[in-house]
Amino acid sequence: MDINWSSRFANRTQYMQASAIRELLKVAARPDVISFAGGLPAAEVLPVEEVAVATENILRKQGRVALQYGASEGYAPLREQIAAMYRAHGVPATVDNILLTNGSQQGLDLIGRVLINEGDSLLVEAPTYVGALQAWRPLAPNFLTISIDDQGMCVDEIDSLDEFSLTYVLPNFQNPTGVTLAGSRRERLVRSIHARGALIVEDDPYHELRYSGQASPSLIEIEAQILGADWNKRGRVIYLGTFSKTLAPGLRVGWVLAPDPVITMMTLAKQGTDLHTSMLSQMIVSELIDGRTIEQNLPRLRSVYGTRRDAMVNALQAFMGDCATWTHPDGGLFLWLTLKGDIDTAVLLDQALEEKKIAYVPGNAFYLDGSGTHEMRLNFSCMSPARIHEGIERLASLIPQQSIVQ
Ligand code: PMP
């Protein structure tokens, strides 16, 4: 007898949805497609040689540590290296404030496990990162949304919102829009969350990928400035970082920086999930921090991605100046395009793939209510400037001029 699996699956699976992006990436990976859909680092900037050398060193010198089980909290020297990074920015962090994770995506999952109850109200930006929605939807929270403009989250709207227990913020080069939370809004956000007694999850994977403009302090740095030595007792920001964008996503190493009670509870949750993050991966990262490889590769990354961002903005100006508006990201991997006419970007995608071999992610994937139908996310990190130019020209040729509402 065939098994009716749908009656066997746990109730929470009804909230699990395939990520539109992951599905799309399967098609977009075809070599004949110019893909603006993914969010990957460019393959040519991955430091393959450096990782090979570090791996060999580690295996020869400390192979029995690297191939052994490790602590759930993470490899202690790497925790200390990360804590030191934040101390240099005024956050009084120790190793007890750092948990190493399997990428920051696991940080999102663990936050859900230890801090989100069914029915809790969570405030997320609209649009927001799909991976956070995937991690938290099965927990059946009540999502509230807040809009963003070219200065990031519209922080002034918070005061008029219903109560929420946690807000999820992407302050730098937000995925999907590429916008950055203005310096002037950051302190207001931290103070308003403290006044409400809520928590902030600050997801900051693109922090180091800035190509123009001035950096503002992280929310957790602002909070530490306000709280001083009391930060570990009174801090309300849980910060997620990752080596996926500055080193290599395949190593799957990210971190959580938070007050130690949060780290202790997340460590317990991690034990039940995967025991610990790969020791070999963590030791490779640690060695590449020590040898300053990550730091020394950053100028090249910024130059390659900055040139690609400029290529995309220039191509949009040349081919879509009349029919669309777009964001001007100072960093990260994406920009956000809004078509002026009445064209559904999810419908247009079929035609773009079929006729023009172009992929992008339709805007509705990033909204809880399925809005964003005239919007799309465009990734600029994976294609050469020439392919970007060609791809935008092809995409623009699909947009009928009569659809343009001036
Ligand atoms: N948060 C955001 C905003 C992201 O864009 C990504 C990667 N696309 C992640 C978290 C997860 O990254 P990783 O698990 O590789 O660190």
**Please, is 260 exposed, middle or buried when counting C-beta atoms within 10 Å of its C-beta (0-12, 13-18, 19+)?**
middle
Query: What pLDDT band is residue 26 in, cutting at 50, 70 and 90?
Result: confident
- For 55-107, the pLDDT digits (tens) are 999 999 999 999 999 999 999 999 999 999 999 999 999 999 999 999 999 99
Q: Quick check: 17 pLDDT over 80?
A: no
- Dihedral over alpha carbons 128, 329, 372, 342 (to 10 degrees): 180
pLDDT at 161 over 50: yes
In ligand 1, the atom with minimum distance to the C-alpha of 105 is: 14
Shortest CA distance to 266 belongs to which of 76, 109, 86, 80? 109
Residues 6+ apart with CB under 8 A from 208: 245, 246, 298, 301
Mutate which of 102, 203, 381 to test ligand 1's pocket (most atoms within 8 Å of Cβ)?
Answer: 203
pLDDT confidence band for 400 (50 / 70 / 90):
confident
What's the 400 CA to ligand 1 centre distance in angstroms? 35
How far is the centre of ligand 1, averaged over its atoms, from the C-alpha of 105 (Å)? 6
Tens digits of residue pLDDT in 254-285: 999 999 999 999 999 999 999 999 999 999 99
Q: What is the pLDDT of residue 402?
A: 46
pTM above 0.85, yes or no: yes
128 lines ligand 1 (CB under 6 A): no
Q: How far apart are CA 358 and CA 319, in angstroms?
A: 15
Share of the chain above pLDDT 70, in %: 98
d(CA 51, CA 48): 5
**Region 327-343: what's the mean pLDDT?**
96
- Closest by CA position to 182, among listed 208, 213, 228, 225: 213
Segment 111-129, tens digit of pLDDT: 999 999 999 999 999 999 9
> 245 C-alpha vs ligand 1 centroid, how far in Å?
9
What's 276's DSSP letter? Answer: S
Q: Does the beta carbon of 131 lie inside 6 Å of ligand 1?
A: yes
- pLDDT of 404 above 60: no
Residue of 6 and 68 predicted with greater confidence: 68
And the tokens for 405?
Answer: 């509402």
Taking the CA of residue 333 as reference, the ligand 1 atom at the shortest distance is 5
Q: Which of 22, 82, 105 to mutate to test the pocket of ligand 1 (most atoms within 8 A of CB)?
A: 105
Convert the pLDDT of each residue in 196-221 to its tens digit: 999 999 999 999 999 999 999 999 99
User: Which residue from 380, 390, 324 is spatially nearest to 356, judged by alpha carbons?
Assistant: 390
- Distance from C-alpha of 366 to C-alpha of 72, rounded to nearest angstrom: 32
241 lines ligand 1 (CB under 6 A): no
What pLDDT digit, counting tens, does each position of 166-188 carry?
999 999 999 999 999 999 999 99
- Here the contacts of 314-319 (C-beta below 8 Å, separation 24 or greater) are 314/389, 315/388, 315/389, 315/391, 315/392, 315/393, 316/392, 318/392, 318/393, 319/392, 319/393, 319/395, 319/396
Between CA 292 and CA 19 the distance in angstroms is 35
pLDDT at 206: 98
